Amino acid sequence: MIGGALAFQTSLPAWARSGLSADLGGLKALSGTQFDLHVAGMQHSIDGEQGRAVLINGQLPAPLLRWREGDELTLNVTNHLKVDTSIHWHGILLPFQMDGVPGVAFPGIRPDATFTYEFPLIQAGTYWYHSHSGLQEQLGHYGPIIVEPKSADPVAYDREFVIVLSDWTFEEPHHVFAKLKKMSDNYNFQQRTVGDFFNDAKEQGFNQALSERLMWGAMRMNPTDIADLTSATYTYLLNGHSPSENWTGLFKPGERVRLRVVNAAAMSIFNVRIPGLSMTVVQADGLNVEPVETDEFQIGVAETYDVIVQPKAKQAYTLIAESNDRSGFARATLSPQLGMIAPVPDLRARPTLTMKDMAMNHAAHQKDMASTPDMDHSNMDHSQMGQGGMDHSATGHRMPVMKEGQTHDHAKGPGVESLAMYPTSRLTERPNGLEDVPHRVLVYSDLKALDRNPDVRAPEREMELHLTSNMTRYMWSFDGVKFSEVDGPIVFYQDERLRLTMVNDTMMPHPIHLHGMFFEVVTGTTTDPYKPRKHTIVVKPGEKLSLDITADAVGDWAFHCHLLYHMHAGMMRVVSVREKAAPA
C-alpha cells in the first residue's frame, strides 16, 4: 500500500516544498493503484500562527495523487475525526456510489471507520479531491490529482509544477458562516464613501450618479460586494505557503514549464498572471484545448487550468494570483535558482459592480437575443417540456409563457431578493475588474476543445434554472428553493441530449459544478463540434448561459455552487440520471 500510516505532525508534502518541486517526478507524490489516506484533525501553522485543521496524511495541501489512465484504483480512506468525513474526486468520471457526496452517493465515512473507493480511470488530466462533509474543505481537506494519459500526451513540456491555490482562515468556519448570516457584508471593508460618490458625479454627472446610488440602496446591495470573504479573515495560500513564505519553483532557461493550476479555495476566485511571461493555455478542467496564448486568466473555485510558460532569461518571475476583490493575493516565484526573487506587483484598484451586473441593460439584452446560439427545435421532445421550454417534471415548477422584459417566473419568497430583468450572454466578456487591463485576458469563448466532442447531437430537451439569493439574509438557492426544501431531484434520462440554461439573478459570480458528467459550453452554435468541455463554470452576475449535456452516467449526482458557504446555505440540487422506461 502507498500512503502508509498517519503522520501525526503537519507538514508540507514534498511536491509543495520550495525548490524541491523543480524535479516533481522524483519526489514523494503518491502513485500506483492502491492508496491509504488518513483524515485527522490537528494544529497547523501559517506564518507562525497556529490554527485547527482537517488534513489528509497530515499534509496541507493533501498528498499529490499520481494516477494513470486505464488503471483500476483502490483507495482506503480512514476517518480519525470525531465527526463524519468524505472525499469527492472532483472531475473524475466514476460510478456514482464512489463519488463521495454524503446523502447522495453514500452515507459518509463514520468516525474510526474506513471506506474503500474503487473505480477505473477512463480519463487523463489535472483534477483534485476534497471533503464534501460540512465545512471541512475550509480547514485544509483538499489535494491535487494528476492522471497521466495512457497514450502520448499532446502537450510537450520539459518540467511541471502543480500550483494549488486556496484560502485559509484562523476563524472557526461555522462562526464565519454565522457572521455571514447576520450580516452578509461583514468581511467587506471596502465600502463606498461620500468621496466615491462625488468622483462618480464628476465622471457621470450628478443626476446619473445619484440615480445609481439610490437604485443600489433600494435593492439593498453594495457595488463593492465582490466577494463574501476577503483578506479581512483570509490568508491566500499557494501550495500551502503564504505570500511571505514565497513558494519557489526552479527552471532552466529555455525550458517549457507546465503549470497545473488548481483553485482549491473555499470562496476565493483568483486572477492569475506572471508579469514578463506569456502563458499558453493547453487544458481546462482536465481536458485538452486548442492552445491559446494569454497574459492573464481568472480561475473560479474548483476550476483547473494547465498553462505552458517558457522563461528564456536567467531571471526570476513572480506568479501572482489576486483575489477577485483585490483585497489580497497568493504568490510564488519561478526562478533559475533559489534565493532569486522578482518584484511583486501592487494590488490593483478594487473593482465595483455595474448596472450590467444587475442585468438592467435592455439594449444589451436585445442584442444578445438577436445573437442567441442557434438550436433546431423541430426534433425536440416537447412532451416533457412546459411553456417557455422548461421541463416541469424535472423541477416541479409551473412556468408561464415569457413576455418581453419578463424572466422565468420561478418560485418567489424570502430567498429571492431580485430578478435579472435583462440577462445576457457574457461568455465573451472579461471578468469584473479586468475589462480595461492593457494585456490579453482569457475568456470562455477563447476555449475550443482539442478533440471533437464525443456527442454532437442537437439537444432533445431544454431546461432553465435560476441562480437565486437574498444576500441581505445570506440565503442562496436554485429557483428560490434551498436544498433542504426541494421536493425532488432534477431528472435527466439516460443518454438523452439536453440543454441546461442558467440565469444568474444574483449580484455575485457563481462557479457551478456538475458531478459525474462533463458539459459543453455553448460559446457559438449548437453544431460546433469543438465546444469547450468542462465540469465547472463561473456564471457572471446577470448572465444567461447554456450548457449541452449528454446524460451518460446513471445515478444520483450533486449539482451545486462551489462557493462553500453558498452550497452550505442551500445552493445545491441533485441531478438524477434515470434509465428510460421500456416502451409498453
Residue 137 near residue 131, CB atoms below 8 Å: yes
Of 80, 83, 87, the residue nearest 40 (C-alpha): 80
> What is the phi/psi pair of residue 341, to 5°?
-135, 165
Alpha-carbon span 57 to 168, nearest angstrom: 18
Provide the pLDDT for residue 399.
30
Residue 171 burial by Cβ neighbours in a 10 Å radius (0-12, 13-18, 19+): middle
Alpha-carbon span 458 to 373, nearest angstrom: 12
Provide the pLDDT for residue 131.
98
Alpha-carbon span 470 to 506, nearest angstrom: 8
Q: Where are the beta strands (DSSP E) in 509-571?
A: 510-514, 519-521, 533-534, 536-539, 544-550, 555-561
| DSSP for 333-376, written as a single string | EEESSTT---PPPPPPPPP---GGGGT--HHHHHHHHHTPPP--
| DSSP for 60-102, written as a single string | SSPPPEEEETT-EEEEEEEE-SSS-B--EEET----GGGS--B
**What is the sign of the dihedral through the CA atoms of 567, 467, 93 and 292?**
negative
Provide the pLDDT for residue 402.
32
* CB contact set of 208 (below 8 Å; sequence gap of 6+): none
Strands laid side by side in the 49-56 sheet: 49-56, 34-46, 72-79, 114-120
Q: Which residue has the cell 500510516?
A: 5
Alpha-carbon span 208 to 177, nearest angstrom: 36
Of 98, 122, 89, the residue nearest 454 (C-alpha): 122
> What is the phi/psi pair of residue 374, to 5°?
-70, 150
Q: Model confidence over 215-269: pLDDT tens digits?
A: 545 555 566 678 999 999 999 999 999 999 999 999 999 999 999 999 999 999 9
Provide the pLDDT for residue 419.
72
Provide the pLDDT for residue 353.
83
% helix, strand, coil for the chain, step of 5 = 15, 35, 50
Provide the pLDDT for residue 524.
85
**Cα 439 → chain centroid:** 24
DSSP β-bridge partners for residue 333: 248, 318
Of 391, 388, 423, 355, the residue nearest 492 (C-alpha): 391
Give the helix/strand (H/E) hosting 297. strand 296-299
Of 212, 218, 259, the residue nearest 239 (C-alpha): 259
Reduce the DSSP state of residue 134 to 3 states and report it: coil
Q: Could you report how far apart the first and last alpha carbons of the chain are, in Å?
A: 51
Alpha-carbon span 437 to 449, nearest angstrom: 27
Cα–Cα distance list, 142 to 56, 111, 432, 517 (Å):
8, 19, 27, 21
Residue 116 near residue 74, CB atoms below 8 Å: yes
Buried b (16+ CB within 10 A) or exposed e, 178-212: ebbeeebbbbbebeeeeeeeeebeeeeeeeebeeb
Question: Can you list the residues of the chain whose pLDDT is less than 50?
Answer: 1-9, 21-27, 192-194, 196-197, 216, 377-408
Tell me the one-letter amino acid at 323.
S
Alpha-carbon span 133 to 100, nearest angstrom: 9
Provide the pLDDT for residue 526.
79
